[in-house]
Amino acid sequence: MVSLLVRHMDANSVDLHGLTALFITQSLEMVELLISAGIDVNLQNQDGMNAFLYHCWRIPSQETPQILSLLKENGVDIDVVDSRRCTALYLAVTTNNEPAVKWLVENDCVPNVNRVCGLAIPRDMEFGGEYCGEHYTVFMKACEMWEAGDDEIIKLLLSIPGIDLETKNFRGHDYTIFTFANEGLVDLIFECHVELGLVSP
């Protein structure tokens, strides 16, 4: 019944937020049906996300890794950024979507890993002409999101060749802004460096 409906529907129809069924479903079978019905895998919503970015950002399902693989196999643009210049990896980190982070790292889908994501928006002069808005690297965001015992995303990011922990945002901050008075995070980062052979124990 579902396959019959999909064959006779406009697969690219969108809701009020610009989302197609490909964004909304968390069923691998439904993704397969939508792709077979000719859905545009690169259609972007009003926030500049395509289905790949959206599935990296949303709360994961058990089939998230397989969905990401299927989208990639069918020509989705994995390098696209949303309207805030956020990459798939950054969006996955913002929601602690560990399955997506793991898939992205293991499949070498981490272009621009040192990109500073988010928008730096000038405030009114009454605020001193400062900037507001999030403006972090992926690793900075992971450090902000980290909670004790939730170590896997930090470990995955540190395993990426070429990740630069010294990259700074427009305020001149790097990831260490989130390690002040946070000994658990400092210990974790040091342990990861030892495991990777970057420093001596």
DSSP secondary structure string, 90-140?
Answer: HHHHHTT-HHHHHHHHHTT--TTTT--BS--EEPPGGGTT-EES--B-HHH
Residues 99 and 15 in one domain: yes
Query: Which tokens sit at 130?
Result: 């400062």
Residues 72 and 152 in one domain: no
Residues 179 and 88 in one domain: no
Residues 136 and 50 in one domain: no
Residues 19 and 56 in one domain: yes
Report the number of distinct structural domains present in the chain. 2
Q: Range of 139's domain?
A: 113-201
For residue range 34-71, list pLDDT tens digits in order: 999 899 999 999 999 999 999 999 989 999 999 999 99
Domain boundary among 111, 138, 155: 111
pLDDT of residue 120: 59
pLDDT of residue 171: 82
For residue range 176-192, list pLDDT tens digits in order: 999 887 889 999 999 99
Residues 35 and 83 in one domain: yes
Tell me how far apart the alpha carbons of residues 102 and 98 are, in angstroms, rounded to a whole number: 6
* pTM: predicted TM-score of the whole model, two decimal places: 0.86
Residues 90 and 165 in one domain: no
The torsion region of residue 17 among left (phi > 0), alpha (psi -120 to 50) and beta comes to: alpha
Residues 59 and 135 in one domain: no
Residues 9 and 99 in one domain: yes
